Amino acid sequence: MPDSKKFFENLSGAGKSIGVLTSGGDAQGMNAAVRAVVRMGIYVGAKVYFIHEGYQGMVDGGDNIKEATWESVSSMLQLGGTVIGSARCKEFRTHDGRLRAALNLVQLGITNLCVIGGDGSLTGANLFREEWSGLLEELVQSGQIDEQAVETHSVLHIVGMVGSIDNDFCGTDMTIGTDSALHRIIEVVDAIMTTAQSQVQTSFVLYLALVSALACGADWVLIPEMPPEDGWEEQMCQKLSENRADKKRLNIIIVAEGALDSHNRSITTDYVKDLVVRCLGFDTRVTILGHVQRGGTPSAFDRILASRMGVEAVLALLEASPDTPACVVSLRGNQAIRLPLMECVQMTQEVQKAMDEKNFEEAVKLRGRSFENNLNTYKLLSYRKPDSEVPKSPYNVAVLNVGAPAAGMNAAVRSAVRVGITEGHTMFAVHDGFEGFSKGQITEIKWGDVGGWTGQGGSLLGTKRTLPAKHLNKIAEQIRIHNIGALLVIGGFEAYLGLLELLAARSKHPELCVPMVMVPSTVSNNIPGSDLSIGADTALNAITNTCDRIKQSASGTKRRVFIIETMGGYCGYLATVGALAAGADAAYIYEEPFSIRDLQTNVEHLTEKMKTSIQRGLVLRNENSNENFTTDFIYQLYTEEGKGVFDCRKNVLGHMQQGGAPSPFDRNFGTKIAAKAMQWISKKLKEFYIEGRVFANTEDSACLLGMRRRALVFQPVTQLKEETDFEHRIPKEQWWLKLRPLMKILAKYKTSYDVSDSGQLEHVQEFMCVNSC
């Protein structure tokens, strides 16, 4: 253990009591946060209390405040809504209500509160904290508690987690529930798209927002932050009639709640519908999503986010001193951090103020770069500029998919093609990867050809694993024939290897001296230079949903352990993060070698578990975690050792992990990263255009565009070689490994958890300034 790192075993919760409550509108993932607080709290030796029905339960006390046990949060992870309840509470707004709440807490020794809710709920918690000592004094004066109680419970520590489907809280990249709400929205839009495809000219108008517009490739979006200019009605109808001319049958118009025009008049779905019917005569339907968005099972992302936040919240409480301000646990890139609660609330209120004052530019700026980027990307991709407005560039750009299919690849191709066309380039689609390239399977691809690609899984271009080295002559020839000035490769590890091979062959084949960029796309998430790859989120959701079903199949069946094999090559990302999202007991991966003793410990752990009320076990195994401890071996070992205590079943998830419609995250990630890659290509084409031709021979003209924390970063592929374990096709360092202790803690294993990454109290300004994608 390196000395520089802090490990939380030094932090003890012994003698502390933590209350956890959910407040305000419910959001999917709140239960995962409650579960994590309870289990982490118990793990560090604290007592944890459920406060049922939010602040109302705190004011009413009695049965509403109940001690939680490890088992009481079992099977909670996959449930939407909030199991412990959340009620609106007028009394807590009054001094008298807060006095009663304080008495209820002191009587149980609770001086630590985890509040999961929106900014209103968190502000209420802060006020309660500020008043705390005064409230206790009053309780002494009225004889309800004694001086000793005041001394023991002198400070109330508060930590907040934002549960809200709106993602409108400043200070976190994502709030708990947003990703799941996007899943619901996209499921509905996808369903509408399939029904409407067979009808003629059907337009749907939805109450949604910007990110879903990006994820489904909507034709028009109306959001409060971007009131349309005068004349938008004609422009929108013009666009829809152009769609008709292009034989597009379905139009999706998204209207967010509170959408306004530039005169401050509200834009309703009915107004939009009547407009389309009146001006174009299209058959137009309105679908209002309402509470559907809050419903259903939480997505993998929300389960992981909430679990991480819950654990971090307990750490924050353990570390809090009387001077520590109330904080909110938030997400920055792939890191859980703490920010002062009231700074975030203030910033959030400033956004609201700017909106109320119709200062939309300021509101968009205050919302952070990510919102602005979404807005710009949407504008770029949804509206085809008339040819007369696009100066033709002399360049042809080729796009290809390489490796195994991954959901979101098509969204990336669509985005690249449209951005390329907007920049004036002629875009070429290369079919079937480098193999198709060498055979000349290359066709021009136009704006309309990629319509509807965002929501489609697999690879519509066709993708293969073939590496280019054996076909260099032919590939060079095709580049010459088609006068290709730049390459965009969307794919997995073979795409990375392919780029390295093309780069190495530049001295022999001058045709290869063109700018090349790859964006990572594989379910395995094993590409050096990027924290995430397109397709991994969809695969993770597929694994999580399947695990839910598998777990459910055990209901009524006594004592069963499931061994589930996941994909990923040698990369344990899917197994580890899938295990965290599904609430598994163990995840075997190549990166964390395990021996027969570890297997034995796990069997003993499960044997113990069977004595409790949770008579079910889930074990994930990455396909290449160990060549001898195969899935069959582990299944047989567990079956033998578990005889008389539990029986076993095994499931190899296989290619279902690569399939299905892309998740909203993969659609958006694919869209944004490919747009950025294409903009880089345009810049490089100009930079390397010398004497009538493109000639790029520098290291930085062959890059990988990866997500590093919150930023999209171009990295020369040669520089990534150092970071790569080529034999096992994985990066030498992988950020998600730090989630493994968390998964083990939540499954009741004794382990140490490195908190050197977390625990810093930062400021919201720093948070908002970081370049985010």
Catalytic annotation, residues: 166
**624 among annotated binding-site residues:** no
Ramachandran region of residue 325, left (φ > 0), alpha (ψ -120 to 50) or beta?
beta
| Beta carbon nearer to ligand FDP, 415 or 533 | 533
Dist. CA 116–CA 120, nearest whole Å: 11
39 assigned binding-site residue: no
Angle, alpha carbons 449-419-512 (nearest 5°): 95
Cβ neighbours of residue 622 under 8 Å, at least 6 residues apart?
Answer: 565, 566, 567, 568, 570, 571, 572, 574, 575, 587, 588, 589, 590
Does 522 belong to an annotated binding site? Answer: yes
Q: Which residue is nearest to ligand FDP (CB)?
A: 569
Closest CA to 578 of 607, 550, 609, 555: 550
| Residues of span 476-495 touching ligand FDP by CB under 6 A | 492-493
Tell me whether residue 656 or residue 713 sits nearer to ligand FDP (CB atom).
Answer: 656
Instruction: Compute the Cα dihedral for 541, 542, 543, 544 and give only its sign.
Output: positive
Please state the closest distance from residue 661 (CB atom) to ligand FDP, in A. 18
Considering only 16-24, 393-401, 431-439, 521-529, which stretch makes contact with ligand FDP by CB under 6 A? Answer: 521-529
CA 314 from centroid of its chain's CA atoms: 22
Q: In this chain, which of 569, 583, 617, 670 binds ligand FDP, going by CB under 6 A?
A: 569
Nearest to 276 by CA among 224, 222, 382, 205: 205
Q: How many Cα neighbours within 13 Å face the side chain of 325?
A: 16
* Residues facing 704 on adjacent strands: 518, 715
Nearest-Å Rg of the Cα atoms of the chain is 27
Q: How far is the CB of 544 from ligand FDP (least distance, A)?
A: 16
Shortest spacing between CB 655 and ligand FDP, in angstroms: 6
Q: Which is nearer to ligand FDP, 21 or 547 (CB)?
A: 547
Provide, rounded to whole angstroms, the least separation between the CB of residue 442 and ligand FDP.
23
The residue type of 591 is E
3-class DSSP assignment, residue 555: coil
Residue 666 CB, shortest distance to ligand FDP, in Å, is 14
Q: Classify strands 335-340 and 327-332 as parallel, antiparallel or unpaired.
A: antiparallel
Q: Is 291 annotated as a binding residue?
A: yes
Per CB under 6 A, the list member of 164, 373, 415, 522 interacting with ligand FDP is 522
Asked if 438 touches ligand FDP (CB under 6 A), the answer is: no
Q: Which stretch binds ligand FDP (CB under 6 A): 241-249, 563-571, 596-604, 687-695?
A: 563-571
Question: Measured between alpha carbons, how far is 394 from 396 in angstroms, rounded to an integer?
Answer: 7
Check the annotation: does 465 bind a ligand: yes
Q: How far is the CB of 393 from ligand FDP (least distance, A)?
A: 33
Q: Closest separation between CB of residue 51 and ligand FDP, Å? A: 43
Pairing of strands 616-622, 647-652: unpaired
- Beta-bridge partner residues of 518: 489, 704
Choose which of 40, 76, 226, 404 interacts with ligand FDP (CB under 6 A): 404
| 568 belongs to the binding site for ligand FDP (CB under 6 A) | yes
The conformation of residue 223, written as its DSSP 8-state character, comes to: -
Which DSSP letter does residue 663 get? P
CB within 8 Å of 271: residues ≥ 6 apart: none
Q: Which is nearer to ligand FDP, 23 or 622 (CB)?
A: 622
| Residue 760 labeled ligand binder | no
- 572 near ligand FDP, rule: CB under 6 A: no
Alpha-carbon distance of 431 to 442, in angstroms, equals 6
Among residues 57, 403, 583, 731, the one that binds ligand FDP under rule CB under 6 A: 403
Residue 163 tokens, joined: 């549960």
C-beta neighbour count of 391 within 10 angstroms: 8
Name residue, tokens 């777990």.
Answer: 551
89 is in an annotated binding site: yes
Is 722 annotated as belonging to a binding site? no
Nearer Cβ to ligand FDP, position 435 or 623? 623
Q: Indicate the DSSP class of residue 93.
A: G
Residue 409 interacts with ligand FDP (CB under 6 A): yes or no: no
For residue 567, state whether it binds ligand FDP (rule: CB under 6 A): yes
Which part of the chain contacts ligand FDP (CB under 6 A), choosing from 1-9, 442-450, 496-504, 519-527?
Answer: 519-527
Amino acid at 156: L
Site string for ligand FDP, 601-640 (x = CB under 6 A): ----------------------x-----------------
Annotated binding residues for substrate: 164-166, 257, 285, 291-294
Interface ranges with ligand FDP (CB under 6 A)? 403-404, 492-493, 522-524, 526, 567-569, 623
Annotated binding residues: 25, 88-89, 118-121, 164-166, 257, 285, 291-294, 465, 522-526, 560, 567-569, 623, 649, 655-658, 729
